[in-house]
Structure formats: structure tokens, C-alpha cells
């Protein structure tokens, strides 16, 4: 009887440890299941997983002992277009964007291919080049990082890789020197 009692106690303790371990969520869960100030319409995880292809979540300790959750994912074209806005309907801006994203040789190669023997209207060629440039940007991994509070109950956005989104689109065209602001990127992710 003593052995049976001991086995039951061991089994009960093992089960209790599994349950306790299951209740302690990871820092990734804290961020994914949380909401960000200004973006309370859905959880971080739902917004980011739906807005990127190949979403990957990881966690690590920073240089100063901070608890960091990192998200990487391929930028989806509809999210990128939402970020850029309606300004891209202008052929000259489409062309400028393509020139800033594509290398000179890529631009020339695609321009020649899209224009055929000069029979394709220039506006249509620019639209093709613009879409090729968008596809190239959408192969980039976007990176976001959050720092989790020491108590594990809260978090704050600490890093957005603005360069991954391609050149910013200004009123007069695209420029490699103009980058998107964090809030504009988040607006596109949550839209």
C-alpha cells in the first residue's frame, strides 16, 4: 500500500508541474495576446499574423537583460500598398518608385521587356515597373521588436525596421532618403 500511495503522490506532483508549466505563458504569448495603445481593434498576434507572409515569432534577452520579443515576416503587397497610399496612381511616381527600388540594370531590363518595341504606352510601362518594384520590396523581411516589462504583464514597441518597406513615397515621388514613420507602418498593418 505504501508503494501505491507513493506512486500516486508522484503522479499527482508530475501532473501539477505540467499544469503549472502550461500556465506560465511565454513572452511571445504576452505580446501576441496583448493590444497596443492606439491599436485596440485586435491583438498584436492577429494583426501581424494576418498582415505578413511567413510570420515568425521569437524571444531573447537583450544586452541589458531586457526581455525582447521579435517578429519577422514578409511584407504582403496589400499592406505595402496601404502604406504607400493613393499617391501611387500617378505614373511619374510609379516610375520614380521603380527607379529607387530596382538597380539600374534591373530597371533597364524590365523597361525594355515591358515596352516591347515601343508600342506599349509609357504609363502602362511605368505600372509594370512599379509592380515589379513592389514585388521586390515584398520579398523583404519586416522586423518588429517589443520589450516585455519585468513583471511579464505588459510590453512596448521598441523597434521597427523602416528600411524593409522600400523608399518612402512623397507627394513628388519616391526617395530613398524618406522613410516611413512607425505609426504609418502600424496603421497599414492594422488596417
CA-closest candidate to residue 72, choices 156, 133, 159, 188: 159
Q: With beta carbons less than 8 A apart as the criterion, state whether 72 and 142 touch.
A: yes
Q: Which pLDDT score, from 0 to 100, does residue 170 have?
A: 73
State how far the Cα of 39 lies from the Cα of 72, in Å rounded to an integer: 19
- Mean pLDDT is lowest, of 119-133, 135-149, 165-179, for 165-179
- With cut-offs at 50, 70 and 90, classify the pLDDT of residue 8: low
- With cut-offs at 50, 70 and 90, classify the pLDDT of residue 120: confident
H or E element in which residue 30 lies: helix 27-32
Instruction: Copy the grid coordinates of residue 163.
Output: 528600411
State how far the Cα of 93 lies from the Cα of 87, in Å rounded to an integer: 8
Residue pLDDT, tens place only, 26-83 = 999 999 999 999 999 999 999 999 999 999 999 999 999 999 999 999 999 999 999 9
Q: What angle do CA 40, 138, 82 make, to 5 degrees?
A: 45
More confident residue, 15 or 50: 50
Q: Which pLDDT score, from 0 to 100, does residue 2 have?
A: 59
State how far the Cα of 150 lies from the Cα of 67, in Å rounded to an integer: 8
Give the mean pLDDT of 165-191: 83
State how far the Cα of 133 lies from the Cα of 176, in Å rounded to an integer: 13
State how far the Cα of 46 lies from the Cα of 126, in Å rounded to an integer: 35
- Mean pLDDT is lowest, of 15-19, 21-25, 47-51, 124-128, for 15-19
What pTM does this model have?
A: 0.81
Instruction: Copy the grid coordinates of residue 6.
Output: 507513493
Amino acid at each position: 500500500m505504501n508503494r501505491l500511495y507513493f506512486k500516486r503522490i508522484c503522479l499527482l506532483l508530475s501532473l501539477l508541474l505540467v499544469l503549472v508549466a502550461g500556465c506560465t505563458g511565454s513572452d511571445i504569448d504576452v505580446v501576441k495576446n496583448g493590444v497596443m495603445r492606439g491599436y485596440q481593434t485586435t491583438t498584436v498576434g492577429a494583426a501581424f499574423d494576418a498582415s505578413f507572409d511567413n510570420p515568425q515569432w521569437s524571444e531573447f534577452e537583450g544586452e541589458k537583460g531586457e526581455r525582447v520579443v521579435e517578429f519577422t515576416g514578409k511584407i504582403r503587397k496589400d499592406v505595402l500598398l496601404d502604406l504607400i497610399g493613393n499617391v501611387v496612381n500617378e505614373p511619374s511616381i510609379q516610375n520614380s518608385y521603380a527607379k529607387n527600388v530596382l538597380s539600374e540594370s534591373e530597371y533597364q531590363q524590365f523597361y525594355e521587356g515591358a515596352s516591347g518595341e515601343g508600342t506599349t504606352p509609357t504609363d502602362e510601362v511605368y505600372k509594370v515597373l512599379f509592380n515589379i518594384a513592389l514585388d521586390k520590396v515584398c520579398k523583404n523581411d519586416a522586423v518588429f521588436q517589443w520589450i516585455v516589462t519585468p513583471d511579464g504583464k505588459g510590453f512596448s514597441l521598441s523597434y521597427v525596421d523602416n528600411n524593409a518597406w522600400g523608399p518612402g513615397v512623397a507627394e513628388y515621388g519616391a526617395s530613398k532618403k524618406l522613410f516611413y514613420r512607425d505609426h504609418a507602418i502600424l496603421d497599414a498593418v492594422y488596417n
